[in-house]
Amino acid sequence: MSHESFFETATSTINLEALAKMAMIRIDADFNEVDNKGRIILINVDEHKSEQVELKEGMHVILRDEEGEVEAVLEFEAHSSGALSDFLGRKDKKGSWRARLLPETGRRS
């Protein structure tokens, strides 16, 4: 991808969508918070991500903690109750973000 796609030529501003496609965002995660499908439950994800990019289902991200990092694919799980959504930090009260790990991508810090 050329650097022209990062910058809009008329205004010389960064095109965040093009940049996000090239560089995965990093999200601080607790690898002990796992659901019954083996996915990492992302708590207060908006406060723990490296970029202010809107999360989308299927997006590849890097989950990290003090010991290492691993690539994961985001999944959104809808909830029927707002109480769990409040606890997990979702503002829209409709569900929470989960991350399916891609183990072959793990690296220790």
Q: DSSP of 36-74, one letter per residue?
A: TTSPEE-SSGGGSBSS-----TT-EEEEE-SSEEEEEEE
Which residues have C-beta within 8 Å of that of residue 82, sequence separation ≥ 6? 93
d(C-alpha 16, C-alpha 53), whole Å: 8
Residue 47: what pLDDT?
80
Residue 52: what pLDDT?
79
d(C-alpha 80, C-alpha 83), whole Å: 9
Residue 78: what pLDDT?
85
Residue 7: what pLDDT?
45
d(C-alpha 38, C-alpha 82), whole Å: 23
Mean pLDDT by 10 residues, the chain (109 residues): 47 57 82 95 83 87 93 88 54 79 86
**pTM of the predicted structure, to 2 decimals:** 0.66
Which residues have C-beta within 8 Å of that of residue 47, sequence separation ≥ 6? 89
